[in-house]
Amino acid sequence: MASTLKPVSAFRDATTKQLQLFYQKPIAKVSAELFATLGAVIALAVFAIRPTLLTMSQLLKDIEDRKKTSADLTKKIAALSTLSTEYPSVKNDIVLLHTVIPSTPDFEGFMRRLERVAADRSLLIVSLQVATLPKETTDTQRAPELTAFTVSVNFRGDYSQVRDVLNDLLTIDRFVTVDSIVLNAKRDEIAKSNVLLTTVNLRIAYYGTPPQTVRQGGQR
């Protein structure tokens, strides 16, 4: 066993002595210093170039974003150009649309129309009630939507007057629909004739943000 370890130990000692002699030579010292210098230069270069690389990456991203923005602007300009060409032909229709379905409830405007229509047909408005009276305000925090307020009107007159008033209301420059009609014939002892009392629930549309409402009823 001792004879086997002796050659191995001798070989290891010889190898160690040869390496020591090699590193004592100038060329080995220069090579080690060269590798150390190259490692230091590479490390410094990485730290020096990194901010530049990050800046270049951000610039490339900004360029891509600007290209996308430019393409979007080109599409919008084309759309505006088309709109400016077609707008004159539909201008009157747009104005009419804003009148028929305004951006606010315009409750007072509707009441003026209702009174005029009833007066033109000599139909008496006995009473009027609004379950929720909309405020003429616009909430800019919410998106507009098609909504409506409801008015309950009691008329007094004959059948033909009521029929003509309802037809007129459906053709005025506001979008009005009839939700329900209740007819009630009563005897007028003074006039010695039958009187027709009609209750009509009307829905008046507008396109805007549904405002906060206050409950209010009224007699007219």
Length of the chain as a residue count: 220
Angle at 118 between CA 115 and CA 122, to 5 degrees: 130
Class of domain 107-215: alpha beta
Angle at 138 between CA 169 and CA 133, to 5 degrees: 50
Query: According to the model, what pLDDT value does residue 78 have?
Result: 80
Mean pLDDT of the chain: 76
Average pLDDT over residues 208-219: 53
The DSSP output letter for 163 is H
The DSSP output letter for 186 is E
Query: What is the tens place of the pLDDT at every residue in 129-165?
Result: 987 777 776 666 767 788 888 999 999 988 889 899 9
The more confident residue out of 53 and 192 is 53
- Side-chain-side CA neighbours of residue 202 (13 Å): 26
Stretch (H or E) spanning 127: strand 124-130
Distance CA 12, CA 17 (A): 9
Query: According to the model, what pLDDT value does residue 2 have?
Result: 45
The answer to whether 105 and 211 are in contact (CB under 8 A) is yes
Domain definitions of the chain by residue range: 1-98, 107-215
Distance CA 3, CA 15 (A): 19
Average pLDDT over residues 201-210: 84
